[in-house]
Amino acid sequence: MRKRALPADGAEAAETSNPAASLTRGLEILRSFTAEDTTLGNQELIERTGLPKATVSRLTATLVSLGYLHYDTQLGRYSIGPATVSLGYSALSSSAVVHMAQPLMQELADRTGVATALGTRDGLEMVYLANCRSQSPVSLRLNVGSRLPIWRTAMGLAYLAGMRPEIRDDVVAQIIAREPDQEVRIRATLAEAIDSYSRHGFVATFGSWYSYINAVGIAFRPTDGSPLVAITCGGIVDIIPQDICLSRVGPDLVRTVDRLRTRLAGQPDTTAAQ
């Protein structure tokens, strides 16, 4: 049986003297888990958060006691606990945008034969809040909680295109600071996305994330004050080649988002896709 290391007294005293810092660092630990992670060990949490070993040990013990993490004593590893899951599902179930978007997204997925998704920005990544798949045996296997790079995906580029310029400039600066060698490509890709959004009402990407994936995306700003989101439709190039993305899937996504806007406004949905 592997045991967790006990925190050093000095580190614990420093942490507990600043409750806000402890909260922030506890959230950093929870954010270390992605949709692809079943469990994480202490060393992985240390590497992902950059926090001292003693701090991670103390905070994980607290998160376990509160139910936000589960600790497997046999493996010596952590997984997301029921309290965290409950918070996530409560947030999603209370979101009118997610609730009303999902049936429309499923209709779109069934019509196009590919996958649809709704997501928002978390730091310098996009995170899935909802997704729907068609009955096609070949489909993207991303799920709620999956994370995507911003400037390489239709979801992220649509989100950036829909942001207020002054906020977008700050986010772009952060992206470039993380990948300075890609600055020219990042700025060119974003400029193209903004132009496409202005001309067509959607952003399209062709193999920019994975070479075999094409996708279209639209930013959507709810009128109830909820955060900006992006809605996408994408799949492998054999199912939606570039010409189909631009001529059919993109315009269909525009109509779907128009229907969502109408429903959220409490108006009759008379613009069902043909």
Task: Kindly report, residue by residue over 171-200, the tens digit of the pLDDT.
Answer: 999 999 999 999 999 999 999 999 999 999
Among 187, 155, 159, CA closest to 172: 187
Helix 19-31 / helix 42-49 crossing angle, nearest 10 deg: 110
The pLDDT of residue 74 is above 90 = no
| Fold match flag (9-84 vs 95-264) | no
Proportion of the chain above pLDDT 90, given as a percent:
39
CATH number of 95-264: 3.30.450.40
Residues 197 and 161 sit within 8 Å (Cβ to Cβ): yes
Mean pLDDT, all residues of the chain: 83
CATH number of 9-84: 1.10.10.10
Comparing 190 with 122, the larger pLDDT belongs to 190
Q: What does the pLDDT read at residue 73?
A: 85
Amino acid letter, 68: Y
Evaluate if pTM is beyond 0.75: no
272 or 232, greater pLDDT: 232
Q: What is the mean pLDDT of residues 96-114?
A: 89
Supply the DSSP symbol for 245: I
Token reading at 95: 């979101």
The rounded distance, in Å, linking the Cα atoms of 184 and 237 is: 26
Report residue 9's pLDDT band, with 50, 70 and 90 as the boundaries: very low
The type of residue at 204 is A
Domain ranges of the chain: 9-84, 95-264
